[in-house]
Chain A
């Protein structure tokens, strides 16, 4: 029961983050939303593992924690190197 509630809450959070990724006027808003989405994905997988009573799959959550970080860093590096035209200065 408690895991179901948590899963639902995380899903709601993911939905809101997704909305920000759609709306986000600047590139950085989108990156922020992706970052948050990734964190919540990690939590979702962890909680879902408990929900289905197979909590051995935390490996995937760990991979997400790593990959998410690297993804954000890579995106930032590319944004710094090739600044997107006219996308950065509006908020």
Chain B
């Protein structure tokens, strides 16, 4: 029933879950982004490992070889990697702005500040003015 032929999926699932776990538990926003990256790469690996054919070689035509791996997943992942770095940089830019607005990149501290800003408006007037002033800069 359980065959070892499926191990590539298990590795992918393990990576995916590790990334997911980092994403949930970690407190630091940059670490969350790294977790997201790991999640992303697990998807890359899923595609690439599905494209592999036993006995095939890289999909660049040469004389006398007829068994190639599937080029389609390669194309999808190739573009996905470049898009992935672009989106990662967007996330990092957001982190920088958060750091400038809140002075922190710890998730719980940011949530705390939000709480104060939302519920304690009367007594924390200056605090909110601070953060909104910083974010509109």
Contact A56 B57 (CB under 8 A): no
B58 is an interface residue with CB less than 8 A from chain A? yes
Give how many A residues have a beta carbon under 8 Å from the other chain's beta carbons. Answer: 4
Please count the residue pairs between chain A and chain B whose beta carbons lie under 8 angstroms apart in the complex.
6
Which residues in chain A, 67-87, are within 8 Å of chain B measured between CB atoms?
none
Contact A52 B57 (CB under 8 A): yes
CB neighbours (8 Å) of A56 from chain B are 60
Which residues in chain B, 39-83, are within 8 Å of chain A measured between CB atoms?
57-58, 60, 62
* Contact residues on B (Cβ < 8 Å of other chain), bracket: under 10
CB neighbours (8 Å) of B60 from chain A are 56
CB neighbours (8 Å) of A57 from chain B are 58
Docked CA distance A54–B64 (Å): 12
Identify the closest chain A residue to B60 (Cβ): A56
CB neighbours (8 Å) of B62 from chain A are 54
Docked CA distance A57–B60 (Å): 10
Docked CA distance A50–B58 (Å): 13
Proximity string of chain A (23-37) to chain B, C-beta cutoff 8 Å, 1 when within and 0 when not: 000000000000000
Docked CA distance A54–B60 (Å): 10
Docked CA distance A57–B58 (Å): 10
CB neighbours (8 Å) of A52 from chain B are 57
Binding site for A on B (CB under 8 A): 57-58, 60, 62
Binding site for B on A (CB under 8 A): 52, 54, 56-57
Q: List 6 A-B contacts (CB under 8 A).
A: A52-B57, A54-B57, A54-B58, A54-B62, A56-B60, A57-B58
